[in-house]
Every structure is written in C-alpha cells, then in structure tokens.
Structure 1
Amino acid sequence: MKLTKLFAVAALAISPVAVQAENLTARHSSSIEGFFLDEGSSVEVLVDNVGDPQLNVEHYGSEFTIFYYGCEDNTNCDSIQFYSGYATDGSVRLKTVNDFNAEKRWVRAYVADNGSTKLEMDLYMGKDGISADDFATTVGLWSRLMGDFEELIDY
C-alpha cells in the first residue's frame, strides 16, 4: 500500500502539469528577452516613442523588432508585434506586395509612403501568455515568412 502511494506521488511529481514551464508573457519585456537570450540571440532592450518596451533582435542571422501593445502605463502589455522594415526606395511594386499578402496567412506586408517596404505579424499573448514551445513555433513561422518576403523583394 505504501509503495502504491509512493508511485502515485512520483507520477504526480512528473506529470505534465507539475513540470510545465512558466509561460512567456508580454507583461514585461524580460520574459521575451529571456527567450531570445536562451536561444543564443542578441537582444537590445529599448523604449518606443510612447514609452512601451521595444526589443531589437538578431536571431539566427535575421534582424527584426518586437513592439509591445495593449500596455498599461508602459507595462503589463497583452500583445506584441514582430516588425521588419526594408529600405527598398520604391523598387517593390504594390502588386508584388498585394500578391504576397493574398498568399500568406499570418503576416501582412505593405509599401510605405517613402517607398520602403514593411512586414508585420501580431501576436496576442493575454495575461497568461503562451508556452515557450508555442512561442518558438511562432518565431519560426515569423522567420520563415520574413525569409520568403526578403526573397520576394530581392533584399
């Protein structure tokens, strides 16, 4: 009987609920910064023009910015935006960008008034955040789509 209890306690201790890692959140920039640092990426922590967190990330050869949204007093944010801008000086046709947007589900691209092109992807993280595995999948998706876009615009 005691052995059965011991096995039950051991099983509970190694159950997925017990070993579940802390979710990544947008509540403070340190959560997402830590993810990228653990991945071996370089991260510069900044503040945007309204005082919200901003991360400039170099991740496996790709450079992009993460903006924070839905913040209360520049903290406790509920979402982030992956962003990459390209100085293309008007060389990318609007039709090219529109076709890309029609084919790709998760991101949106556009041509700015100054002729540069931009790529964005929003992620709502809520109060409780998302698992590190799900965030890693999202970062992988972002990286792949960013590569597709850069290839399309010959950047």
Structure 2
Amino acid sequence: MLRSTALSATFGALMTLTALPAWAETSVLTFDDLDTFEELLSGFGSVERDTDGEDDPMFRGRISGVPYTLYFYGCENHRDCNNGTFVAYFDGADYSTDAGTINDYNNGYRFGKASVDGDGDLEINYSFAFKGGITREALDDTFDWWRVILEQAEEHFE
C-alpha cells in the first residue's frame, strides 16, 4: 500500500512538472502590445488604429458590417491605459429605442449596455479591464464577446 501511495505521489509530481512549461509560456499582454490588439481585432473584421480627441490611442473597425470604436481609458500620457470601452451606434430611426426595449435588453443580457444618445440613436457599449495585463486568449475572448454583443443587440432592437 505504501509503495502504491509513493508511486501515485511521484506520478502526480511528474504531471505537475510537465504542465508547468505550458503555464510558464502563457504571455501576458499589456497596453504596450497594441499591435496584438489590432491583430486580434482584425480577425473579426476591418480595423484601423487612430487617436481620440485627447490623443489617446483608439481603434475604429467593423464587425459584420457594423461600425464600432474602441476607446481606451486610465491612460497616463497617452500610454499605459488600463481599460477600454467598445461603442457602436445604430440609427434610432431603424431600431427600437423606447425605454421598455432598452430596459429589456439591459436586464436580459449579461454583457453589453444599451442607451439612447442625444440624437435619438441607439448606443451599445461594452467595457473591459486589462490592468496588470491580460492573456492573449482572454483578450481574444473579450473581442469575441463584443462580436456576440453586436449580433444580439441588432437582433433585439430590430
């Protein structure tokens, strides 16, 4: 019995050590990796890097034909930003923008937030944080959630 336990412990230790290199290779992206942000976003549609009115970096793009902007916040000297917000606008004349439909969306969907801007257009946004870094897989998943949010919003508000 003791021998069996020792073998199990040895096997468990070996399995942990063989898994360690894969874990150690997981790189953490920071705001310095904007090229990777752009590369991942381009997997969902067109994208171009730009700067906003405060000279902070931003992206403009399209997913399934829907134009969006990705703004960055928490920036220091136009660098080291630690969170972002995706924003897309839909013509209020073409989509339902009444309070009941907006509330149904905001209460029924976990990700994404809907509101109506001053021009009566539908605004959909989605914020995310990456302070301290984010893995490539998690960032790609965040961008994929934005794609899902846009699809769900279009369907909900048509």
Q: Is the structural similarity TM-score above 0.5? A: yes
Distance 1:70 1:47 in 2: 15
Q: 2:85 aligns with which of 72, 81, 84?
A: 81
**Alignment correspondent of 2:56:** 52
- The structure that has the greater radius of gyration is 2
Q: Structure 2 unaligned segments of length 5 or more: list them.
A: 1-13
**Alignment correspondent of 1:103:** 108
User: Matched residues, percent identical?
Assistant: 24
Pair 1:60–1:96, CA change in 2 (3 A): closer
Q: Is the 8 A contact 2:41 2:143 kept in 1?
A: no
Amino acid at match of 2:143: V
The Cα shift of 1:146 comes to: 1.3
1:66-110 alpha-carbon deviations (Å, 9 max, x no partner): 100000011110011111111214852121011100111221110
Which structure dedicates a bigger proportion of its chain to helix? 2
Pair 1:61–1:14, CA change in 2 (3 A): farther
- Please report the TM-score for the alignment, with normalisation by the length of structure 2: 0.77
Q: Structure 1 unaligned segments of length 5 or more: list them.
A: 1-7
Bigger mean CA deviation after superposition, 86-95 or 105-114: 86-95
- Please report the TM-score for the alignment, with normalisation by the length of structure 1: 0.78
**Alignment correspondent of 2:23:** 17
**Alignment correspondent of 2:36:** 31
Amino acid at match of 2:144: G
Pair 1:93–1:60, CA change in 2 (3 A): closer
Distance 2:107 2:88 in 1: 19
The Cα shift of 1:17 comes to: 3.0
**Alignment correspondent of 1:4:** none
Distance 1:117 1:59 in 2: 17
